[in-house]
Chain A
Amino acid sequence: MEAFFSLANGLSVAIQPMNLLFALIGVLLGTAVGVLPGIGPALTVALLLPITFKLDPAGSIIMFAGIYYGGMYGGSTTAILINTPGESASMATALEGNKMAKAGRGGPALATSAIGSFVAGTIATLGLTFLAPYLVDIAIRFGPEDYFALMCVAFITVSATFGDSPIRGLTSLFIGLTLGLVGIDILSGQSRLSFGVPELYDNIEVTTLAVGLFAVGEALYVASRRHIEEEKLEPVRGSLWMTKEDWKRSWKPWLRGTLFGFPIGALPAGGAEIPTFLSYSTEKKLTKYPEEFGKGAIEGVAGPEAANNASAAGTLVPLLTLGLPTSATAAMMLAGFQQYGLNPGPLLFAERPDLVWGLIASLFIANGMLLVLNLPLVGLWVKLLAIPQPWLYAGILVFATIGTIAANPSPVELIMLAVFGVLGFLMRRFDFPIAPVVVGLILGPVAESQLRRALSISLGDPMVLLQSPISATLLFIALVALVAPFVLKGLGRFKAVED
């Protein structure tokens, strides 16, 4: 019951007026960027990092978490009304949700996704509350070699195990690791891959990379293929409210979606796509109305929406307890902690319980705010979609460049932004995943320093990695996760044919 006590303390932090205000700004921004196609929560947090540099850490981090949760709510609105999911996590929602909107049932689709998100978000945040202290107890026993092994697991699962192509995922990861080498090596004081450019000596800024890849890259990509696709906004027709029948058909998918989303999000498995699609296919199998699937079945909206919100809460488990980001947004939140000199992990729970538990408590508040913001006010958010696309992307680029230059006032930083933008464009065009690059840049240097610390304690004996049972187990898991997609490739192809 220690968790209850901590949570109550956190609540007293979270209900301070300033923090409530930050949570509100966060969920408003998050919903807005979730609704708008082209900007996701990761990019928003990246853009806000330089701006929040001088603000109170607790408030900013509460705001970032609000953006994360809000993005999950907002993404579904776009998926349902224009069939372009704002986030990859909403892809499954678009399948049935857009069909429902076309059939004049957009209201209930939005309602079931908002209420489902609330239910799932609340249950999953409770899960986070009770799971976190246990994981912290385990994490305290981790030595540097165990952390190194854990990061190997994260590298592999984020890049190789669950993507379309393990080779392309690993390529993205290694680009990130290469970028992570740039700068002065702290232990030896020598510079690597800096070529005498002063801006490169103090490492590549995570924000510059993320803003370049997400904002500039996305703008270039969308602009280059504007001649191919036209988007069509479905008006919300009919009642917003769900009928008794809708409720009856929604509540089980909500709970099942939560059961998929939270654990998969909490494992270092990267992102919300897997649980949402698992939830979608489960609902398709279990439904009493199989004939409606593909034509707008409410179960196909309720389940995936619950799953993606639950996975957002799940992702916070490894982030807060181990300092391990497993999605692009989590990686940006980690950068948010780091800009205040805070390192998420067991130590942070001991040193700054007010901050960690204040954050967790504010997640409950944010969830409640989001339900109110998204149900009665959904019409307002839909109006955002009326912003002309040229101005939207022009505005994104303006904020991207100004945010970058405000953080590091040097033209060289902007040149890097442009280069990363072109990289992001090429990666999208050739279907390389983006998140592993960001995770590689952030975790690469951490993994290196843990490895070097482990080996200097063992006086250079590499066997230390296998002598610690935790490290040996984790390295074994990493190996299996690396080999599995290559071995199971035939299986995946078989499944695709079956569908």
Chain B
Amino acid sequence: MTTSSQRRIDMAGLAIALLLLALAALVWWDQSKLQILSPYDLGPKVMPIVVTVGLTLLAIGNGIAAFRGDLPKRDSLDWKPIFLILGGLTILIALIALGWGFMIGTAILFAATATAFGRRAFLVDLLIGAGLAVFVYLLLGKLLTLSLPAGPLERLL
């Protein structure tokens, strides 16, 4: 451990504190629209108020920790895999929303995640992902009769 030469304000920690404060404000604003209907019930407002107070106190606590530089040390971060995985998820969500079914998107998510973890064979992984999607569709959709979003490909099976 390095002894504290000069403790700097942890900007990320400060951002966390501000986010918590924003969340507290949101909960407070939301409960202000509720009505208390029954005189014998504590009403729906009490719990949100408790949560607001708690979040505000914790925002202060996290803020103090950020100012004192008390946050745990963080390693360097590689952003590319994060974008790849979230990108794959976004494509999957978009394809399902557009009514294309889940198989194409699932194959893309599989290949994107594999790439994020260092594979360099996107097309092969795309095929593996497609195979996995078919397998899961047969298992869940046909065997366990769960409803999965169907597009043109799913109707062929």
A residues neighboring B (CB under 8 Å): 50-51, 53-54, 164-165, 167-168, 170-171, 174-175, 177-178, 181, 185, 187-188, 190, 192-193, 216, 219-220, 222-228, 388-391, 393-395, 397-399, 401-402, 405-406, 409, 411, 414-415, 417-418, 421-422, 425, 429-431, 444, 448, 451-452, 455-456, 459-460
Contacts and interface: CB of A to CB of B under 8 A. Distances in A.
B37 A188 contact: yes
A174 B72 contact: no
Contact of B93 (A50, A228, A415): A415
B117 A409 contact: no
Contact of A393 (B40, B106, B117): B117
Contacts of B145: 54
A171 B78 contact: no
The 8 A-B pairs with the shortest beta carbon distances in the complex, nearest first, are: A223-B81, A390-B117, A390-B114, A394-B113, A390-B119, A185-B44, A411-B97, A167-B61
Contact of B55 (A51, A174, A395, A417): A174
B140 A402 contact: yes
Interface string B51-72: 1001100100110010000011
A53 B147 CA distance: 12
A398 B62 contact: no
B93 A178 contact: no
Q: Is the interface of B mostly helix, strand, loop or mixed?
A: helix
B85 A219 contact: yes
Contact of A187 (B41, B75, B115): B41
A133 to B, nearest CB: 34
A430 B12 contact: yes
Contact of B51 (A51, A54, A181): A181
Contacts of A388: 119
A240 to B, nearest CB: 32
Interface string B110-133: 110111111100000100110011
A459 B133 CA distance: 56
B62 to A, nearest CB: 6
Contacts of A192: 30-31, 34, 44, 48
A414 B62 contact: no
B156 interface: no
Contacts of B89: 216, 397, 401, 414, 417-418, 421
B128 A391 contact: yes
Given A224-B82, A398-B132, 7 more contacts: A181-B47, A181-B48, A223-B82, A228-B75, A390-B119, A398-B129, A402-B148
A226 B65 contact: no
Contacts of B48: 181, 192
Nearest to A178: B51
A398 B106 contact: yes
A224 B86 contact: no
A226 B117 contact: yes
Interface residues of B, number: 74
A225 B75 contact: yes
B92 to A, nearest CB: 6
B114 A51 contact: no
The residue among A395, A397, A402, A425 with the most chain B CB atoms within 10 A of its own CB is: A402
Interface in B15-57: 16, 20, 23, 26-27, 30-31, 34-38, 40-44, 46-48, 51, 54-55
A174 B51 contact: yes
Contact of B147 (A224, A406, A418, A451): A406
B4 interface: no
A397 B113 contact: yes
A368 B71 CA distance: 44
A376 to B, nearest CB: 30
Contacts of A177: 47, 51, 54
A134 to B, nearest CB: 33
6 contacts: A174-B51, A178-B51, A192-B48, A224-B82, A406-B146, A418-B89
Nearest to A418: B89
B21 to A, nearest CB: 12
Nearest to B64: A167
A94 to B, nearest CB: 19
B93 to A, nearest CB: 5
Contact of B71 (A53, A220, A395, A430): A430
Contact of A226 (B81, B92, B140): B81
A216 B92 CA distance: 14
A456 B40 CA distance: 5
A220 B55 CA distance: 26
A421 to B, nearest CB: 8
B96 interface: yes
A460 B140 contact: no
A54 B143 CA distance: 11
A431 B44 contact: no
Given A178-B51, A190-B35, A226-B81, A394 B96 contact: no
B121 to A, nearest CB: 9
A449 to B, nearest CB: 10
B155 interface: no
Contacts of A417: 89
Nearest to A194: B30
B54 A170 contact: yes
Contacts of A414: 89, 92-93, 96
A171 B61 CA distance: 9
B41 to A, nearest CB: 6
A451 B58 CA distance: 23
Nearest to A172: B58
Contacts of B86: 220, 418, 421-422
Given A181-B48, A397-B109, A455-B42, A405 B148 contact: yes
B77 interface: yes
Contacts of A185: 34, 44
B132 A223 contact: no
Contacts of B128: 391
